Amino acid sequence: MEAAQKICLGEVDRAFAFIGAGGHHAGRNFFGGYCCFNDVAIAVDHLRKSYGTHRFAILDTDAHHGDGTRDIFQGDPDVLHVCICGMNYVSPDGTKVDVPVPWGGRDPDESYLKIAEAAFASRVRAFRPDLTIWYFGFDGHQGDYGDMGLSLRAFVGLADFMVAAAREASGGRLLTVLGGGSRTDLATLIIPQVIHRLANG
The one among 38, 40, 59, 98 contacting Zn ion by CB under 5 A: 98
Candidate ranges 72-80, 107-115, 128-136, 144-152; the one touching Zn ion (CB under 5 A) = 144-152
- In the complex, minimum distance from the CB of residue 82 to Zn ion, in angstroms, rounded to a whole number: 9
Segment contacting Zn ion by CB under 5 A, of 1-9, 73-81, 122-130, 133-141:
133-141
The sheet carrying 79-84 orders its strands as 14-17, 174-178, 131-136, 56-60, 79-84, 96-99, 89-90
Task: Determine, following the binding rule CB under 5 A, whether residue 39 of this chain makes contact with Zn ion.
Answer: no
Asked about 54 being catalytic, the answer comes back as no
Total residues contacting Zn ion (rule CB under 5 A)? 11
Any contact of residue 85 with Zn ion (CB under 5 A)?
Answer: yes
- Would you say 144 and 182 are in contact if contact means Cβ atoms under 8 Å apart? yes
Please list, in sequence order, all residues whose beta carbon lies within 8 angstroms of the beta carbon of residue 134, skipping any fewer than 6 positions away: 58, 59, 61, 158, 162, 174, 175, 176, 177
User: Using CB under 5 A, which of 65, 81, 173, 197 touches Zn ion?
Assistant: 65
Q: By C-beta, is 40 or 47 nearer to Zn ion? A: 40
**Which pairing describes strands 89-90 and 96-99: parallel, antiparallel, or unpaired?**
antiparallel
Distance from C-alpha of 21 to C-alpha of 34, rounded to nearest angstrom: 7
By CB under 5 A, name the binding residues for Zn ion: 62-65, 83, 85, 98, 137, 139, 146, 180
